[in-house]
Amino acid sequence: MTGSAAELLDGTTGWLAEHLEWFSPQRWARFLPCRPFPPGPALELLGLCRCLRRRPAVAGTAALGETALDLGAQLVDADAFRDGLYRCDHLFSYHLYLLALVHSGGRGRPDLLAAAGRLLDATAGVRAGALRSTQELVELRYVLDVAELAATLPAMDVLVARSALTTGLPPAPLTDNEVYALTHLVFYATDFAGRRAVAVAPDTTGLVRALIGVYAAVGDLDLTGELLLCADALGLDLDGVIPERVIAQGWRTLLAGQRPDGSVPSPLFDPVVDARLTGEQRVAYRFGTSYHTTIVAAMAATAWEGRRARPV
C-alpha cells in the first residue's frame, strides 16, 4: 500500500488552506445551495483545527488554523451572528459551538460567551432534558463542555451510558443517516478522538468494524473516514503495529480516493456534472461536494498520526 496518514493530512490541509475563501458564507451563497446555518462549513473547519492543535505544530497546519480562526472571529463579530445567537432557537447550539471554537482557539470572546451563558440560564430548553433525545443531549453537552459553560445537564459519561453506544444497537440494518448518528455520538463522547469514551457495548465496536468494511467496499469515502475516526476513538486495533485487516482496508480506500490536489470527494460528487462545468462554477461544485469529506479525512489522519506516529 502506498501513501500514509501523514501524507493524507498534508494534502487535505493544503487543499483546505487554498480554498479558505469558500468557507465564507457570502462566497458560498454565490454558487451553492443555502444552508440553515450559513457558517456551517466554517464551523466544521474550526472543529478540524481544534483537532490539529493536539499534534505537534507543523507550519502548514498552523497557518491553516490561524487563518481559519481569523474567519471565525469575523463571523462571530457580525451582527447577523449575534442576532441569531440571541434568538435562542433551534440553531442556538450551532451558534454556541462556533463561538466556543473561536474562543477556545485563542480569539477570546468572553463577553459574548457570558451572554450565551445568561441565555442558557434564562431558557428552559436546556433543562427540559425529557423533551430531547439522548443524541441531542450528548451533542449539547459536548458544545457546553467546549464552551466551558455550566448547565443543568448530566455529565458526558452519564449521557453516554444512556446512549446506544452502551445500551446496544438494534440488529436491523442501519441507514446512512443512522450510521452518521452513530459516528457523531462517538465524536461527541470522545471529543473527536481526543479522549477515550466510557466502556461501550461490544456490539458497538463490532458494528464499527463491520461498517468500515461495508462503506470501504462501496467507495463511500465520507462514512469510511468518519468510521475510521470512530475506530481510533474507540481504541480498536491498539495492541499491534499492523492494524486490523478491515481497518487497513478502510485506510487503503481513503488514501486511494484522495485526488492529486489533496481533496477527498464525497458521494455527492458526480464526474459527469463536473465535466460540464467551467471556471468558478466548477471550483464551487468541487468544493461543495468535497470539503466535508476532506475535513473528515484530515480528522481521521490527525487522530491516527497522534496515536501512532507511523505510516499506515
Q: DSSP labels for 18-55?
A: HTGGGGSHHHHHHHS---SSTTHHHHHHHHHHHHHTTS
pLDDT bucket at 236, cuts 50 / 70 / 90: confident
**Cell 481513503, residue located:** 254
Which pLDDT score is estimated for 203? 85
CA distance 149 to 206: 35
Query: Do the Cβ atoms of 71 and 77 come closer than 8 Å?
Result: no
Region 110-135: what's the mean pLDDT? 76
61 grid coordinates = 497546519
Question: How confident is the model over 291-304, as a mean pLDDT?
Answer: 96
Cβ atoms < 10 Å from Cβ of 11: 23
Residue 154 in 3-state DSSP? coil
> Does domain 5-308 sit in CATH 1.10.3470?
no
- What was the pLDDT predicted at 131? 54
Per-residue pLDDT averaged across 46-67, rounded?
A: 85
Helix (H, G, I), strand (E, B) or coil at 225: helix
257 φ, ψ (degrees, to nearest 5): -85, -10
Residue 241 has a pLDDT of: 43
For residue 241, which amino acid is it? Answer: V
Rounded mean pLDDT, 229-258: 83
What does the block give as the cell for 148? 466551558
- Enter the C-alpha cell of residue 190: 470522545
Rounded to whole angstroms, the Cα distance separating 99 from 73 reads 8
Residue 132 has what pLDDT?
Answer: 72
d(CA 262, CA 204): 32
What are the tens digits of pLDDT across the range 93-118?
999 999 999 999 999 999 999 999 88
Residue pair 126/120 in contact (Cβ under 8 Å)? The answer is yes
What's the rounded Cα separation, in Å, for the pair 52 and 37?
24
Q: What is the DSSP string of 234-294?
A: TTTT-SSSSPPHHHHHHHHHHHHH--TTS----TT--HHHHHH--HHHHHHHHHHTTHHHH
* Amino acid making up residue 135: Q
* Candidate from 37-51, 229-243, 270-284 with smallest mean pLDDT: 229-243
pLDDT in the model for residue 177 = 94
Q: Within the chain, how many helices (H) and strands (E) appear?
A: 17, 0
What integer pLDDT is reported at residue 59 of this predicted model?
A: 64
- State the average pLDDT for the chain: 89
Q: Which position has the higher pLDDT, 124 or 249?
A: 249
Nine-digit cell string for 65:
488554523
pLDDT band at 242 (very low <50, low <70, confident <90, very high): very low
Distance CA 122, CA 100 (A): 19
Beta carbons within 8 Å of 160's beta carbon, 6+ residues apart: 138, 166, 185, 189, 197, 198, 200
